[in-house]
Amino acid sequence: MMTTQYALIDGNNFYVSCERVFNPALEGKPVVVLSNNDGCAVARSNEAKALGIAMGAPWFKIRHLAQSHGLVALSSNYTLYGDMSRRMMTLIGQYSPDQEIYSIDESFLRFSGFEHWDLTAHGQQLREQVKQWIGIPVCVGLGPSKTLAKLANHYAKKRPAFNGVCNLSVLNARQVDALLADTPVGEVWGVGRRLTEHLAGYNIQTVLDLKQEPAATLRARFGVVMERTIRELNGIACYPLESEPAPKQQIVSSKSFGRPVTEQRELEEAVSDYVARAAEKLRGQGSVCGALQVFIETNPFIPGEPQYHNGAVTRLAQPASDTGALTRQALVGLRKIYRPGYRYKKAGVMLMDLIDGDQIQADLYGDTYNDHYATDRLNDLVDQLNRRYGQGCLRRASAGFTQGWRMRRENLTATFTTDWNGLVCAHA
C-alpha cells in the first residue's frame, strides 16, 4: 500500500535559465542575475557558483570576476521571469490534479490515487517536457511529505546519479537513512542558520540525527514548527497542499533608490509610485485595506553619515482600495516623518488590516455603493491599461514624470515574451 506522495519541482538557477532561453550564448558561462538596483547576486549559474560566488553576494565585491573570469551580470527582469513561471507552472500542473505554486520557480504536486503509477518515470517525463516546451531545466523530488519532497529535490539537484529525479519512496529505509546521515541538518526546509546553531548545541548535526529525535521533546525546546518538521522527516505529512493561494494579509511595496534622495518632493513621488503598485495588488486579490504604513530610511552602510529611519501608520476612515485615497493617506504619513538634511536610500509602503472587499462596512454617514462606483471603474481601467501596456504606463501626476530616483538596471534584457518590441530576432 502506498500513501499519498508529494513532488517538489524546482527550476534550476531559475532566473539565469530564463535568460539563457533567449540568449543561448550564455550557456556554459558564469552568469549571475542581480537584485533590484543591481545590488547583489540573487541567481547564479553553476559556473558562477563554482567561482565561489555566494547567494546575495554584493555586486561591487564580485565585479572583478567579469574581467578575470568572464562573469556575466544581468539586471533582474521580473516581467520575463514571471511570464516564464506562469508557462512552466501551467505545464507542470498537467501532471497531477493537485498543484500548489509555492514560489516563482517551485511547485508542489500531490499524488493521491496514483498507487499503480511509476512516479519516478512520471517525474522524468515532466522534466523532459518542461525542458523541451519551456526551455527551463528542472529537478523533481518525491516523498511522502512536503519536507521529504523538498529534501529529495535537493538530492535530485546535487547527486548526478538520480538524473534529476529523486524518489525517496522507492528507496529502502537503509538507503534513505544513509542519504540523510550524509546531509547537514541545515538543508532541511524550515531549519535556517539560527536553528542549525541551536541544534548543534544538542549534537544534532545531520538530517538523520534530527529525524531520530523524539518530536514531542524537541517541541518543548524549539516549538511546534520543529515538531512538525521531525514528523515530516519520518514520513508523516503535517503540511497540506495549498492549492488556492490564501489572500495576502499585508502588501508591501518598497525599493531602494538609484541614488540618494534628499528632497521631500522626490520622496513623495516614490511613495506615490509604490502606493499605486501596492494598491494594484490589493485590488487584484479583491481586498481593501484599513491602515497604511509609510516608511523612509537612510543608508546604514555609509558609516559617519547621519542616519534616520522612521515610519508612520495611518488608519483610513473607511477601508479602501482606491489608489487616490491611499495615496493621499500615504502622503499625510510621509509629511509627518520627513526630516530635511538626510540622504534617503529607501522608502516603502505597507498596506495592512486587509479584508475582503465584499465585507466592507458602511460608515456612520451612510457611504454607499454608488459613491465608490466611479473610482472603482477608474481603478479597473488603470489596472487594465497597465497590464496591457506595461507597469506604470498610466500613473498619477504625484508619482512624477522624470522619476530620477528610480532604481538602476544597467544590464536589463528585453521582455521577450510579453512585448512585441522584445521579440527575439532570428537571422536567416
Partner DNA sequence: TCTGGGGTCCTAGGACCC
SS3 per-residue string spanning 328-376 = HHHHHHHHHHCCCCCCEEEEEEEEEEEEEHHHCCCCCCCCCHHHHHHHH
Answer whether 73's CB lies under 8 Å from 66's CB: yes
Binding of DNA by 28 (CB under 7 A): no
Is 58 a binding residue for DNA by CB under 7 A? The answer is yes
User: Can you tell me which of 97, 190, 390, 404 binds DNA, judged by CB under 7 A?
Assistant: 190
Among 19, 105, 273, 383, which residue interacts with DNA (rule: CB under 7 A)? 105
Instruction: Report the nearest approach of DNA to the CB of residue 144 (Å).
Output: 19
How is residue 247 annotated by DSSP?
P
| 148-187 binders of DNA (CB under 7 A) | 150
Q: Are strands 138-143 and 165-167 parallel, antiparallel or unpaired?
A: parallel
224 binds DNA, rule: CB under 7 A:
yes
Check binding of 36 to DNA (CB under 7 A). yes
User: Per CB under 7 A, does 194 bind DNA?
Assistant: yes
Contact between 40 and DNA by CB under 7 A: the answer reads: yes
Is residue 394 a contact point for DNA (CB under 7 A)?
Answer: no
Q: Give yes or no for residue 251 binding DNA (CB under 7 A).
A: yes
Looking at 124, 129, 196, 234, which residue binds DNA (CB under 7 A)?
A: 196
Region for 341 from its dihedrals, namely left if φ exceeds 0, alpha if ψ lies in -120 to 50, beta otherwise: left
69 binds DNA (CB under 7 A): no
Nearest residue to 392 (alpha-carbon basis) of 290, 294, 288, 253: 253
Does residue number 395 form part of the binding site for DNA (CB under 7 A)? no
Task: Decide: is 99 part of the binding site for DNA (CB under 7 A).
Answer: no
Grid cell listed for 299: 543608508
68 contributes a contact to DNA by CB under 7 A: no
CB of residue 293 to DNA, shortest distance in Å: 10
Say if CB 105 and CB 10 are below 8 A apart. Answer: yes
Question: Does 106 engage in binding with DNA (CB under 7 A)?
Answer: yes
- Binding to DNA (CB under 7 A) within 308-367 occurs at 345-346, 348
Q: Classify residue 425 by its DSSP letter.
A: P
185: DSSP letter = G
Burial class (CB in 10 A: 0-12, 13-18, 19+), 334: buried
Residue 404 neighbours by CB distance under 10 Å: 13
Q: What residues line the site for DNA (CB under 7 A)?
A: 35-37, 39-40, 42, 56, 58-60, 102-106, 150, 188-196, 223-225, 246, 248-256, 260, 277, 281, 299, 301-302, 345-346, 348, 407
